Structure 1
Amino acid sequence: MTIPFKNSHAPRLLVLAGAVALAMTAGCNNEDKKDDPKKPNDPAMKYQAEISRTSFGVPHIKANDEGSLAYGVATAYAQDNVCLMADEFTTVSGERSKYFGPNATRQTSDLPNVQTDFFYRIINDADAVKAAWEAHSAPMKAMIEGYVAGYNDYLDKTGMNNLPAACKNGAWVHKITETDMVKLLRRYAVEASSGQFIPAIVGATPPGQNPLVPAVPPKAGMHPMDPDYWAAMRERTGSNAVALGRDATDNGQGMLLGTPHFPWRGALRFYQLHLTIPGKLDAMGAALGGMPMINIGFNQNLAWSHTVNNSAHFTVHAMPLDPSDPTKYLFDGQAQSMERKTISIDVKGSDGVVRPLARTFYSSRFGPMVVIPGQLDWTGGMAYAINDANLGNNRMLEQWYGMGSARSLDEFKASIDRTVGLPWVNTLAVDKEGSALFMDVTVVPNVSAAKQSACVPAPFKPLAARGLFVLSGATSACAPASDVNAPQPGIFAGTSLPRLTRGDYVQNSNDSAWLSNPRAPVTGFPDIVSVDNVEQFGRTRIGITQLEKRLAGTDGLAGRRMTVAQLQGLALSNRVYYADQIMDDVLALCRADKDSQAADSANACARLNQWDRTVNLDSNTGYLYFTGLWERIMHVPGVWAVPFNPADPVNTPRGLNIDNAAIANTVRQALASSAQDVARLGVSPDSRWGDVQVSTRGTRQIPIHGGKGSDGVYNAMGTVAGTDGKLEVIYGTSYIQTVSFDKNGPQVQAMLSYSQSTDPASPHYADQTERFSKKEWITQPYTEAQIKADPAFSTTTVSRKAVATPNGKP
């Protein structure tokens, strides 16, 4: 233990600890009703875990206590991804500039190290980390301590000289402390809030002072103040999930599909694992790097997945300033000084010498100051601060523990309502009895509809309608309200947030709670939580359309209920939804222009005419022409022949308004420009989609199906241009699972699209990527018998001895 903090919130933490203890004793599972007498349990050991590996390198980790379980998780994860984890600890500690220079960027970010270093030093200052540690219950502290011990022991036993090539003998690879783990958890918590404002926070300086990084006006669509930014972010790091109840499945029990779209690089990569504490926990699925808990998965009784939600998790506050001092703001009629703090980071110069770099940052009662040129400017009369509700969320581990150990859907739901520890994701779940659950219960600033109306200044009201809330910072009446039933000040209580339980289905693809099931719209919540009567994403519409056709028996398949194979087909059919909405009109325009087309447009029309409107590996490259066209016209006013109608949100908007001469001309120009893009990419006319979109593994380029989520592709993929005319996948469908239930318990098939390990020397660097490319789902061993019967089964015990104290006691 390296954080000697005293607990200043003992009464509240006793309640939390009791709640967690109740949740942990509640969840049990299959064969293990007691401690397994065969499992090593040496009292001389501080930590002891059994790690069994099955096919594709999936670890099944069993221990008798929380600390030992986390010790095993850290060991297994480091065996597969130690370099990735070391890199992330360097980031959250604000030390990238020290080792890699101030101007370099990470593989997963275009922000220079100097910006991310100062940002993480701002949000992870000593006081904040201390308070966050104190807020964790005793079992969760034990997990954090166990993870630290497991990671450090791995480094000791392996030796720096024997680490994978990416971090072998790296000066930036070092042992960690509980402090580092708390910093990592806080990094995950703010991913969808402060983490999107890094340049705005680091660049916030009073008028007349030079910012750390010269301020430049944001590009359209690329900044948090742009109305389309948050929708684009959910498309990029979003998800689909479908929960089917007893009235929709072939056997009358629950069935779940989860397809999170997450980065294929960095710590937001998922990792498959199975965690067991006999009598308490037996959950399997996937977790983010450094998480000693299942984030998405199943247990004996239920299964769940998450989708990035539509709620806002922060507010921005416009604060009038004291005319005599731009670092004083007026609040409830009184001038208050901003807090100023000088932060120093170490920076490696071009000469290789490391020198300190210090800057002064300012914050208010709401949080750190932000500056976005032309939108949120710090002037002599006004300044802006961001209030990030998730900086007070220290309940994530507790939340996923409660979910994973739940014995029923009621316990599962109660855990979420009580803890409110999910930072920015919806939850969809099913149980073996056939109930389907949707919950949009996350950390959201408590801004009622009335407060929104009264407190959002007129210039910012259009942004509020798009999910960005700028409130008056002049009065306490406009601060987020507190609810005695919420676990932290300033957020909504869990029981006041959206949910829906059905016997047929619920679904979500990053839209609001409104159309979780269009037969029972979820309405009446403040805009900051969930917006009604707005146009839905293409992925939402194609998901609902396919579900409704299946249940109506109008999809050309037998029956009116869903099988596992049909659910998997929905996930990976690779249909391009918006192509179905506009391609007939595009081709009609092509035919009308046939005799007058330029070569570029004629080529685009020919390829689109041959395209099957999917992004399967054997589809032709017509998709490249389509996506370039759609990207250019999707936001053009008046482009739709049938505009969005809130009374028919699944089927509108649709059709291109090509009878309008201006729209028709815009489409023609977009076709020609798209064809020019394809020509520059250098794609052969005979290429298939699988020849173009790939994931490179060493010298092997594995073909990857799927396409852009913004094109309405359920199997969403994001790419960057490679050096050889290929498109390299960098995010998209990641841990994809289907879970059904029968008399033998959960029946699970899943794939981790990018495979378990980031080490090119590992046998599990590309094995699941190959399976994903072929759409070959992998049956997951869950019970003891299934695990031991796996052809790749192996097992080992990892441990650390207890250290004797002066009185001889461990």
Structure 2
Amino acid sequence: MTLGGTMRTRPRRAVVTAVALFAAVGTLPAAAAQDQHRQEHPSHGGLSATIRYTEYGVPHILAKNYADLGFGTGWAQAADQVCTLADGFVTVRGERSRYFGADAASDSALSSATKNLAGDLYFRGVREAGTVERLMAEPAPRGPSREVKDLIRGFAAGYNTWLKKNRITDPACRGADWVRPVSVQDVAARSFALAVLGGQGRAVDGITAAQPPSSTTPAAGAPDAQDTARAAHELFAADSADMGSNAVAFSGATTANGRGLLLGNPHYPWQGGRRFWQSQQTIPGELNIAGGSLLGSATMSIGHNAQVAWSHTVATGVPFNLHQLTLDPADPTTYLVDGRPERMTRREVTVAVQGGAPVTRTQWWTRYGPVVTSLGAALPLPWTTTTAYALNDPNATNLRASDTALGFSRARATSDVLGALRRTQGLPWVNTIAADSRGHTLFTQSQVLPRITDELAQRCSTPLGKATYPASGVAVLDGSRGDCALGSDPDAVQPGIFGPAKMPVLKDAPYAENSNDSAWLANAERPLTGYERVFGTLGTQRSLRTRGALQDVSAMAARGGLTVRDLQKQQFANRVPAGALVAADAARACAALPGGTATGSDGKAVDVTEACGVLAAWDRSANTGSRGALLFDRLWRRLPVSQLWKVPFSAADPVNTPNTLDTGSPAFARALADTVTELRAAGIALNSRLGEYQFVVRNGKRIAVPGGTESLGVWNKVEPVWDPAGGGYTEVTTGSSYIQAVGWDGGRCPVARTLLTYSQSSNPNSPHFSDQTRLFSAKKWVTSRFCEKDILSSPALRIVRVRS
């Protein structure tokens, strides 16, 4: 890969000869036999692959079959991310308490468990029940294909071989006894953990804490319906801060050459097991794909091949539902269905604990799924002598996401992407946006969702469900009635989920965009309707990020003549929609305050005169050099925006409403005074450049980070941590991650620019620990080396032959 927009080929000094790669494949071009010091031969025999590294440590993995491709991928991921990977494998084995202590904070990347013990009890339970093995044994398409099984087997072997042949230099796990070889089950269990992240994974504490009431347990009243509905709504709103994305596909009708364009900008955690890792995977004549994989996966999560590009955005569909159980008055572990008693299934799970005796707990399961006593701390679901709640998660029987990804990788058009979704039905919690070289576009919310129709919810919701379903899409069905079963669609690959015919789909729109709101306004001129509430809302207020994105991309589509360069400009425009809406009014209202003072929450008068000028002069962007961006951000976070708009939301104009901030409200002046006080107390000048106080530290050096928070509506979203002691914003926790801007110019090679914001390796001793982070700071890109001639002309080319 090369930096910038121009591909350059440098002459070779050495005369090279062809290297025999695989008998079945033929030979690599002569450049692959470059000087001996550029090749490494760590092992011999068994599975094998060739890894060609180019700039920024991006590996191009060449293999003769899927098992070998998995092997090369597992090897290369371990080389960059061995500690992060090993930590995740400890999680899915249920061994965090053994190595790190039962009460330590758990691995938030793979479940919602607050403490290690709860996470271990859940994952040990999954393992002891043989859940993953059963799913692996299911025949395709219900279970993984032979190709995916080979990829998983190869990945485990590649990871293990790297461990055997290399010394770990990352201080995060150097010499640690928890870094161990992995099994095929371990790798598959990681995929399972990601699949249930929005369902059982969201309820780990509630599953592992669920215990039947005893005769001495105080009676608990039913959950308040409105409080529970509000908590369920807030639960999903909180998720958007941790996981989100933007993506837009433009059709040939809007582009300079009649071919499609795609910009993908997922917002994922910058640390831990949900990081992306960049590579190219090639099986000659079978597969050739470049993009980003979630760590631990042998398939490409987001990427492009020679003819199609795709990205994902976290969807609004609710991938679980609850069943309210009516219990036998004589036995709280027996529930009634159509008047007939059914006993819950006991699962005794034992977890080893560091420095103490093993802990054994009982988990309780029903025909609907596990009994659960909470969904997050704010959403209790008490188990009483008369009532309990069971969680239905259809993704707990879904290990198909890798086959979906593999189908995308082999697609030749957006129609093939849609075909892969319909055939495999494997995506648990994301939308898909795609474009192809023929000028087609696609948006679809093809998720694995419980088959909760609005009719079923109306007929079978309990009083609690009648509040939660409209508010959040969380259905609470009457588990005592057999006629409230979810049923099955004829085109669904498993019972109890929606089939492809029910999924929202938008084909060949001039643009198709999503920023984590529902499917309704994927194109503002061609709204999608007719889907069930569990998929998301219709006719409701959109987020500022959605509104800003729709304003931007619709203007781009109307202008036409688009190229990849326009996608690059959109990614780093760093426009702040909230600022465009209210900053001018805020500056004028500030200047009009009597005596230039405002009263803060503590009742003290604050001179805000300087802030008025800073707000007026601010360029309404979140670039690292923007003066006033930090002041506005801190002010915006304090404003109760939902109460301050003069013009309310209108479904007839959803992109432009609500608007006009009511600066006459006392809340505005109070928020302004508090913001000025906060910044001055921290020693931060009101007109500071954003990058001085929004940064990450890598190897002791600050790297300024552009972009803005969710509530500001910035496309280039970042979520940093505020340091009230004076550091400003420091470590970014989540935000723009693997970014790709892809198009086609009619040649054999796609035109692609990429960026992995947090860089390829978590190891501070790696040369690729922060190199792309510095590019991100400077709003620079990496030019994809997709075709052979470009890979082999890389001045950084390094070839590694790996064998098991």
CA offset digits 1:120-140 (Å, max 9, x no partner): 223343321221221222222
Task: Show the counterpart of 1:731.
Answer: 734
Match of 1:38 among 22, 27, 34: 27
Task: Show the counterpart of 1:363.
Answer: 365
Task: Show the counterpart of 2:449.
Answer: 444
Structure 1 residue 163 displacement after superposition:
4.3
> Matches of 1:134 and 1:444 in 2, distance apart?
22
Structure 1 residue 260 displacement after superposition:
0.2
Relative to the length of structure 2, the TM-score reads 0.88
Match of 2:297 among 291, 295, 298: 291
Which stretch shifts more, 367-376 or 311-320?
367-376
8 A Cα contact 1:197 1:224, kept in partner: no
> Matches of 2:499 and 2:380 in 1, distance apart?
32
Instruction: Tell me the SS of whatever aligns to 1:197.
Output: helix
Which stretch shifts more, 750-759 or 401-410?
401-410
Match of 1:546 among 552, 567, 587: 552
Matched, 1:789 2:796: no
Which contiguous aligned blocks of 4+ residues in structure 1 show a shift greater than 6 angstroms? 220-224
- In structure 2, do the counterparts of structure 1 residues 133 and 236 end up closer, same or farther at CA, with 3 Å as the change threshold? same
Match of 2:170 among 164, 182, 187: 164
Structure 1 residue 206 displacement after superposition:
1.9
1:769-784 maps to which residues of 2 (within 5 A)?
769-784=773-788
1:5-84 maps to which residues of 2 (within 5 A)?
36-38=25-27, 45-84=45-84
Structure 1 residue 487 displacement after superposition:
1.2
> Matches of 1:224 and 1:718 in 2, distance apart?
24
> Matches of 1:679 and 1:775 in 2, distance apart?
30
Structure 1 residue 529 displacement after superposition:
1.6
> Matches of 1:74 and 1:681 in 2, distance apart?
46
Task: Show the counterpart of 2:709.
Answer: 708
CA offset digits 1:232-262 (Å, max 9, x no partner): 3124310000000011112211110000000
8 A Cα contact 1:696 1:702, kept in partner: yes
CA offset digits 1:598-621 (Å, max 9, x no partner): 21655554543332221110112x
Matched, 1:281 2:291: no
Task: Show the counterpart of 2:570.
Answer: 570
- In structure 2, do the counterparts of structure 1 residues 652 and 239 end up closer, same or farther at CA, with 3 Å as the change threshold? same
Match of 2:765 among 761, 764, 778: 761
> Matches of 1:633 and 1:180 in 2, distance apart?
46
Task: Show the counterpart of 1:146.
Answer: 154
Cα root mean square deviation, aligned: 2.6
- In structure 2, do the counterparts of structure 1 residues 686 and 221 end up closer, same or farther at CA, with 3 Å as the change threshold? farther
> Matches of 2:255 and 2:197 in 1, distance apart?
35
1:303-382 maps to which residues of 2 (within 5 A)?
303-349=309-355, 354-372=356-374, 375-382=380-387
> Matches of 1:404 and 1:481 in 2, distance apart?
32
Task: Show the counterpart of 2:141.
Answer: none
CA offset digits 1:711-768 (Å, max 9, x no partner): 2111111112357614211110001110010121310001000000011110000000
> Matches of 2:550 and 2:512 in 1, distance apart?
9
Structure 1 residue 504 displacement after superposition:
1.1
> Matches of 2:727 and 2:305 in 1, distance apart?
44
Structure 1 residue 281 displacement after superposition:
0.6
Matched, 1:126 2:141: no
Matched, 1:718 2:719: yes
- In structure 2, do the counterparts of structure 1 residues 710 and 194 end up closer, same or farther at CA, with 3 Å as the change threshold? farther
Q: Aligned partner of 2:721: which letter?
A: V
Match of 1:272 among 272, 278, 288: 278
> Matches of 2:797 and 2:216 in 1, distance apart?
60
Instruction: Tell me the SS of whatever aligns to 2:300.
Output: coil
Q: Aligned partner of 1:705: which letter?
A: P
CA offset digits 1:543-593 (Å, max 9, x no partner): 11112223334xxxxxx3323222222122111112222223323432332
- For these two proteins, the number of residue pairs brought into alignment is 743
Structure 1 residue 403 displacement after superposition:
0.9
8 A Cα contact 2:318 2:474, kept in partner: yes
- In structure 2, do the counterparts of structure 1 residues 223 and 687 end up closer, same or farther at CA, with 3 Å as the change threshold? farther
Task: Show the counterpart of 1:585.
Answer: 585
Q: Aligned partner of 2:778: which letter?
A: K
Where in structure 1 are there 5+ consecutive unaligned residues?
1-31, 212-216, 554-559, 801-810
Task: Show the counterpart of 2:623.
Answer: 616
CA offset digits 1:426-484 (Å, max 9, x no partner): 11101101011111101011111111211222333332122222222222322322123
Structure 1 residue 150 displacement after superposition:
0.8
- In structure 2, do the counterparts of structure 1 residues 33 and 737 end up closer, same or farther at CA, with 3 Å as the change threshold? farther
> Matches of 1:669 and 1:323 in 2, distance apart?
55
> Matches of 2:46 and 2:338 in 1, distance apart?
54
Match of 1:430 among 424, 427, 435: 435
Which stretch shifts more, 581-590 or 319-328?
581-590
Task: Show the counterpart of 2:506.
Answer: 500
Where in structure 2 are there 5+ consecutive unaligned residues?
1-20, 33-40, 139-143, 218-222, 599-604
Q: Aligned partner of 2:103: which letter?
A: N
- In structure 2, do the counterparts of structure 1 residues 432 and 518 end up closer, same or farther at CA, with 3 Å as the change threshold? same
Relative to the length of structure 1, the TM-score reads 0.88
Structure 1 residue 225 displacement after superposition:
3.7
Matched, 1:97 2:97: yes
> Matches of 2:659 and 2:338 in 1, distance apart?
50
Structure 1 residue 207 displacement after superposition:
2.2
Q: Aligned partner of 2:195: which letter?
A: A
> Matches of 1:680 and 1:151 in 2, distance apart?
50
8 A Cα contact 1:235 1:710, kept in partner: no
The percent identity for this pair of structures is 37
8 A Cα contact 1:632 1:670, kept in partner: yes
1:563-712 maps to which residues of 2 (within 5 A)?
563-595=563-595, 596-597=597-598, 598-599=605-606, 601-602=608-609, 604-620=611-627, 622-634=628-640, 636=642, 638-658=643-663, 664-685=665-686, 687-712=688-713
> Matches of 2:446 and 2:64 in 1, distance apart?
31
- In structure 2, do the counterparts of structure 1 residues 471 and 585 end up closer, same or farther at CA, with 3 Å as the change threshold? farther
Structure 1 residue 507 displacement after superposition:
0.5
Task: Show the counterpart of 2:410.
Answer: 405
CA offset digits 1:352-394 (Å, max 9, x no partner): xx42111111121111111137742212221111111111111
Q: Aligned partner of 2:183: which letter?
A: T
